[in-house]
Each structure stands twice: as structure tokens, then as C-alpha cells.
Amino acid sequence: MVRVTTGVHAGGHEFISTAHEDQKFGLSVVAPASPDGHGVDGPSPAMAALLAVVARPELRLLGIHSHIGSQILDPAGFEVAARAVLELRADLAARTGVLVDEVDVGGGYGIAYLPGESALDPAHVATDLARAVAEAARDLGTPLPRFSIEPGRAIAGPAGLTLYTVGTVKPVTLADGRVRTYVSVDGGMSDNIRPALYDAQYHAELVGRASTAEPVLARVVGKHCESGDIVVHEVMLPGDVRTGDLLAVPATGAYGRSMASNYNLLTRPPVVAVADGSSRVLVRRETVEDLLALDVG
């Protein structure tokens, strides 16, 4: 398949918006302007790549792939991108007689990270996307392709949470007179890089014990030597949160463990499956011996 950029700018952060022109992914569907600026100068980079594949007998063109971003909560961008890809597909068929079988419009379906947020509804997205594709195919006079999507985060994200143990608790008086309580935990940017990388927002809850203490404004931070090592930027936690408490951060099943690292040579935590009152270790906890095993001699 050939990946194309449709010009649709979607997603929660510039670094995860992947279909605008000025970045590394895909080939543009926009034809270059002629030197005089009054027309186009040859096929678009996407069309040129498709034509090159068709011209090579040792290659088989399966389809056209588009991915517009990540953590998308407005489905309209998928519809615009799908039409652009179908137009490119029809143009290729008109030029070569080759009508590709499959169109992949990628993923990026947003999930709820904070209380009150709503994830994209799969039935709603599927209905609207199917309608948009059918309309575009009808307008272009081409049969419907096989249609594929990539709902990775929407499946994996809500399935996981991260458990932390509280270390130091430190109240800090801010310039505006408010008090923010820094709650440090035994992990951080090594097991969830997204807050530092994308300013991603997460929630935290005290688990393992009940508390009736008045809530306080808190910031959950990791154990690494970085001021940007923040797990949760702002959250209300019970005022009696203390060393040894357990905090749960939900919706970390996507891009938590898969983006984890040994930053500061911290070992990575285990992955444990929990269901119906029982648990099972899926990925064991790393040890210092695991890290030293890479040393030669």
C-alpha cells in the first residue's frame, strides 16, 4: 500500500497530527505548482508513487493508506480524508485502468482520559464514515473498495491502568496563594512519556483505602531528574494522601508500556491481567540483573 497525506490536520497535539504536509509521513495528494504559478507541474507525489508501483511487474499495489492523526474526538476529518483517498483511487483508475481493492483510513479514534470526557462512539463513527464513503464512490462512479481502519488506542487504551506507590508528599504555595501538593510516585516518564512529550492529560485516584479528607489540588510527579517528569498535571486528591498510598492512573493501556524506557536506568514495571477477582502476570517486572545482562565482559 502507498501512504498518502490528505492535508487533514487532526489530533490532540501537533506531534500526533500526521496528515498535514509539513512532516515526515506519507506522500501528498496535492500536485506541485508549475513554475509560473498558473497550473500544476506533473502528478502529485502520491500519484507519482502509485504510477511507479503500477509500472513495476514485480510489485502488487494492494491499496491506498491514509492516517490523519491520533486522539481524534471529531470524526469529520475521517470523512474528508476518505473522500480525498477515493478521489485519488478514481484518478489512478482513469490513468491506468487499475482500481485498487483496498482503502485504509488509519486510526486515531480518541478515548476518554479525564472524568467528563466522552470517547468517540464506534457505531456513530462507522455509520457516518460508511455514508461518506458511499457518497464519494457514487459521485466518482467507482465501486466501493474494501475498507479498513486501525482502532488501536480505542481498544488498548481503556483496557489498562497504571498503579503507583506514593513516595514523598510536598505542599507548595503558588504565586496566586493557592497550595499545590506534589505527590511523587515510584514511576514517571519511564513508564508514561506522553505527559512530557505531548502535554497529555491524565487522571489519578487514590485506591486501596477510603478517605473522607477534604480534597486538595495535587500534581502527581515521577522519580526522574526532570522537572517535566509529570504523570498528572492537576488532579484533586484527598488531603491526607501519604507515603505508601496507591494511586491508579486509568487509560494507560495504549502508549504506556509500548513507549516505556529505562530512562535513568529505572527498570520497567510488570504487566498484570486482572479479571473476576484473579490476576496473572503477562510481562514480568524488569530487574537490575536484566539491565546488567547487556554489559559485555
- Residue 252, Ramachandran bin (φ over 0: left; ψ between -120 and 50: alpha; else beta): alpha
Among the candidates 154, 189, 220, a domain finishes at 154
Does residue 175 lie within any of the structural domains? yes
Q: How far apart are CA 129 and CA 151, in angstroms?
A: 14
Helix (H) or strand (E) holding 127: helix 122-140
Among the candidates 122, 154, 186, a domain finishes at 154
- pLDDT value of position 102: 96
The answer on 150 and 45 residing in a single domain is yes
The answer on 201 and 69 residing in a single domain is no
**Short-list 103, 204, 108, 123, CA closest to 155:** 108
- pLDDT value of position 93: 97
Choosing from 55, 174, 175, 225, the catalytic residue is 225
- pLDDT value of position 20: 55
Residue with cell 499545590: 180
The answer on 148 and 12 residing in a single domain is yes
> Residue 45's domain spans which residues?
2-154
Q: What DSSP string runs through 209-251?
A: S---SPEEEEEEE-SSS-TT-EEEEEEEEETT--TT-EEEEES
Does residue 207 lie within any of the structural domains? yes
Taking the chain (297 residues) in runs of 10, the rounded mean pLDDT of each run is 86 46 83 73 91 97 93 87 94 97 92 93 90 93 93 94 97 92 97 94 96 97 95 97 98 94 94 96 96 92
Task: List, in order, residues 6 or more apart from 104 with CB less than 8 Å away.
Answer: 1, 63, 64, 65, 66, 147, 148, 149, 150
Which stretches does DSSP call E strand in 143-210? 146-150, 161-173, 179-185, 205-207
CATH classification of the domain holding 241 = 2.40.37.10
Distance of CA 5 to the CA centre of its chain: 17
**150 classed as catalytic:** no
- pLDDT value of position 88: 96
The answer on 117 and 6 residing in a single domain is yes
**Short-list 120, 19, 15, CA closest to 68:** 19
* Torsion sign, CA atoms 232, 233, 239, 244: positive
Q: How far apart are CA 27 and CA 112, in angstroms?
A: 31
